[in-house]
A and B are shown apart, each in its own frame.
Chain A
Amino acid sequence: MANNIFVIAEHIKGKVDDVTYEMLGKAKELAAGGQVIAVLLGSGAKGMAGDFAADKVLYVDSPTLADYNPEAYEKVIAGLVNSHSPNVVLVAYTSQGVDIAAGLSVDCNMPLLAYAFRISAGSVTSQLYGGKMNVESAVEGDRFIAAVIPGSFPAAAGKGSGAAVEEVAAPDLSGLKVKFKKLIEPAGGDVDITQSSVLVSVGRGIQSEDNLPVVQALADKLGAALSSSRPIVDAKWLPKTRQVGKSGLKVKPKIYIAVGISGAPEHIEGMKDAECIIAINTDPKAPIFSYAHYGVTEDLFDVVPALTDKL
């Protein structure tokens, strides 16, 4: 059956996010002869759709849409979904998409499946429980929204020579209760972990700030930078600049040594493309071992100092 598929394009600082192409590629497969319709919002941003592999691009231009604003974007996108009635809407499970997807579900009365990484007609598989369980859901009816985990599908299939752009007038966006003010970039001055060919990355398993020297010693021996998963940064044991993952940095070092990191999907998103991943974690069921090339379940406090000595 032919399906019309909406793909909500995402961009930040003038650049289209890779997940947009990943979703476009998947949409082509789901459309089965129907149309892939990319939805792009922005201000003077029409050109961004130039390499979208889509049948059509709906473009809405307004100064208010120049930067993402949850209230404005939802209003515009919900209007388009309601007027075009696509069968499937693909939204990225990103900082922007998390606001959009659930909002559309209510405003457009469509089922939503979150944390989606596999999608076929009427069935969506979500990654739940920090990556420890997958759940396949059957959708009632034939329309649904999927919030797609970045990195789930290849981006190449979503790149093409562009499509006919249909400009749609923006609805009235005055009187919004949420106003975008500015983007704040992280303070520089710290090491750039994306440039390091070897990373020693530390997670909750380190237990206490007092134990950081154990992993720092290994990093020093390897001439590597010390990076971390989110909880270490939230606890302020390391600066934000060291965080690997969804809301941190994406890294592709030659060697990534994950110490005491379980491998929640948000972390995996930032490091799964490393050339060689070594994971040290006492929980043999930890999701990190599904991505690692080499795994160790011995206590990090025994293995890491021993390894530091051997190098």
Chain B
Amino acid sequence: MNIIVPIKQVPDLVEELEIDSSGKDLDREWLKYKVSEFDDHALEEALLLKEAHGGTVIAIALDGDDIDKALFAAAAKGADRVVKVTGDYAGASNHTAAKVLANVIGGMNADLVLTGVQSVEDRDGQIAVLLAHYLGIPHISVVTGVEVSGGNVTVHKEYGGGTVAEFEATMPVVLGIQAARETPRYVPVARVRQAMKSTELEEMAGGDAGVSAGSSVSRMFKPETGGSAEMITGSAADIAARLAEIIKSKI
């Protein structure tokens, strides 16, 4: 079974975000990046499936900031192959990214493609669904459970209120993973360094996208903070006293 896991780096939201001088994008000079958390879950689910059923897990990413490190981390966690798609993808739309990924994944004989259900940058739609359509195979998003049996996969898709829909799909299929069945595994930096020495980072050319988002950013701005929140300051004891007052008045 070939399981392909497209991953990408996104700005770490723990850091303060600033807007650049164009007013249309983040100021990326000092941004810290990390693997999109849902992609991390997709990789975990792929590794769990491989451990249970055998197969090969291939982590793949478009060239970009810090991507080598992210791919080596995937190798350290257990991905059998790591592939960097070469080309200039700075500022690429998700339509473009998905089409380029489809160009490469199309030749990989995939049984399953698992990637994050969404990322914090999906201005023009989610990669999993776009990728499936460019590959011409079905897809299911918001997936929280995957079981493989023969050529079929049983998938749990999450709705609101904790309700889950169960689907059965014939492989190959693209799944947008919301959460893996286990918390994504952690690898210490030493293991990532080791992987950098022992793993071959394969490079493949992305080819032409020939598609675009069909829209462009006209402006980026911080949300109007409602200003509605009354900020309570002082010592912990002062704050606690004021909060207790507020709470007692509302109950």
Contact = CB atoms under 8 A, between A and B. Distances in A.
A236 B164 contact: no
Q: Shortest 10 CB-CB distances between A and B: which pairs?
A: A111-B214, A186-B162, A102-B129, A306-B240, A102-B125, A106-B133, A310-B244, A302-B236, A295-B229, A307-B240
Contacts of A299: 236
B60 to A, nearest CB: 19
A2 interface: no
Interface residues of A, number: 98
Contacts of A67: 165
Contacts of A77: none
B84 interface: no
A51 interface: no
Contact of B218 (A99, A110, A137): A137
B133 A102 contact: yes
24 contacts: A70-B138, A99-B140, A101-B129, A114-B126, A115-B123, A123-B218, A129-B17, A137-B217, A177-B138, A177-B169, A178-B169, A179-B168, A179-B169, A183-B159, A234-B41, A240-B162, A248-B162, A255-B250, A293-B228, A296-B239, A303-B243, A307-B239, A310-B243, A310-B244
A298 B236 contact: yes
Interface of B: 11, 13-14, 16-17, 19, 26, 41, 95, 117-118, 120-126, 129-130, 132-134, 137-142, 154, 156-170, 173, 176, 178-179, 183, 213-226, 228-233, 236-237, 239-241, 243-244, 246-248, 250-251
A33 interface: no
B177 to A, nearest CB: 11
Contacts of A246: 160
A26 interface: no
Interface stretch (A52-60, A80-88, A138-146, A166-174): A138-146
Contacts of A94: 159-160
B170 A177 contact: yes
A184 B229 contact: no
A220 interface: no
A291 B226 contact: yes
Given A183-B164, A222-B251, 7 more contacts: A98-B142, A133-B19, A133-B26, A294-B232, A295-B231, A296-B231, A303-B240
A240 B164 CA distance: 11
A144 B215 contact: yes
A246 B95 CA distance: 25
Given A102-B125, A105-B130, A114-B125, A133 B220 contact: yes
Interface in A265-302: 275-276, 278-279, 283, 285, 287, 289-299, 302
B213 A111 contact: yes
Given A133-B26, A136-B217, A296 B142 contact: no
A12 interface: yes
- SS class, residues of chain A in contact with chain B: mixed
Contact of A144 (B169, B214, B250): B214
A283 B157 CA distance: 33
Contact of B160 (A178, A235, A247, A296): A247
Contacts of B178: 247
A241 B241 CA distance: 31
A132 B13 contact: yes
Contacts of A186: 161-164
Nearest to A239: B162
B74 to A, nearest CB: 19
B178 to A, nearest CB: 7
Nearest to A310: B244
A134 B223 contact: yes
Contacts of A134: 220-223
Interface string A253-266: 01101000010000
A261 B135 CA distance: 38
A156 interface: no
Contact of B165 (A101, A180, A240): A180
Contacts of B183: 234-236
Given A129-B11, A309-B240, A141 B214 contact: yes
Interface in A70-111: 70-71, 94-96, 98-99, 101-103, 105-107, 110-111
B17 A132 contact: yes
